[in-house]
Amino acid sequence: MSKYVKEHLQAEMERKITEEGIRDFVVVNTMGVGGTDNNVMRGALKEKGIRLLVVRNALFSKALSSQDLGSAGELFSGACTVAYGGDSVVDVAKEMVEWSKKLKPVELKGAFLDGSALDSKGAEALSKMPTRAELQGRISACVCSPGSNVSGALLGPARVIAGCVKAIIDKSENQAA
């Protein structure tokens, strides 16, 4: 491949990193996945907002270095595919672990998030973390729980008093009849 073509490919990768905001990603090896399985996997991932990008290691490492993400370069050896997108890198890791179970040739090589490179074990541990939506649910439950306890404490005695008043009214109506 000529130097001119390599420069264009690197520029295209830099543009993709910038425009699509590729900051956190999972690196997988998809070598050996058949064409049909590859299309099925890509289609299912695309529905979830996750993209796959097969890269040339040296060119992608240079593109990452130009975007101040150079420490991710250690993840790229052998056949590499970058998985990115979704709601968070945790979602991407979970999906890629699921696909590695469905398709044996797919294997996790590592992940990159918040400026740190993780090995394959770290990427698998990342897949076991709660997603952004799960964390938001936990936080809202923690925030709402004390409020519901307070409202229950305030409304509980009022219900008892209302029940007593209703019983007195019912009793006086029965006596009047």
- 25 or 166, greater pLDDT: 25
Helix (H) or strand (E) holding 96, with range, is: helix 89-102
Is residue 156 domain-shared with residue 112, that is, in the same domain? no
pLDDT surpasses 70 at 139: yes
pLDDT at position 75 = 84
Is residue 96 domain-shared with residue 169, that is, in the same domain? no
Is residue 52 domain-shared with residue 67, that is, in the same domain? yes
Is residue 51 domain-shared with residue 26, that is, in the same domain? yes
**pLDDT band at 177, cuts 50/70/90?**
low
pLDDT at position 150 = 67
Check: pTM over 0.75? Answer yes or no: no
| Domains in the chain, number | 2
pLDDT at position 145 = 72
pLDDT surpasses 80 at 76: yes
Is residue 141 domain-shared with residue 106, that is, in the same domain? no
Residues of 93-120 as b/e, b for ≥16 C-beta within 10 angstroms? bbbbbebbeebeebebbbbbbeeebbeb
pLDDT at position 97 = 92
- The CA distance from 48 to 41, in Å, is 11
pLDDT at position 115 = 82
Q: Rounded to a whole number, what is the distance in angstroms from the first to the last CA of the chain? A: 102
Is residue 92 domain-shared with residue 164, that is, in the same domain? no
Is residue 44 domain-shared with residue 24, that is, in the same domain? yes
pLDDT at position 47 = 93
Is residue 86 domain-shared with residue 101, that is, in the same domain? yes
Q: Which domain holds residue 157?
A: 130-177
**Per-residue pLDDT tens digits for 146-165:** 766 666 666 677 777 777 88
Is residue 117 domain-shared with residue 30, that is, in the same domain? yes
Which residues on neighbouring strands pair with residue 53, listed in sequence order?
A: 82
Tokens coding 98: 């699921």
Is residue 111 domain-shared with residue 151, that is, in the same domain? no
Is residue 80 domain-shared with residue 93, that is, in the same domain? yes
CATH code of 85's domain: 3.30.70.1730
Q: State what percent of residues in the chain have pLDDT above 70.
A: 94
Q: Across the chain, what does the average pLDDT equal?
A: 84
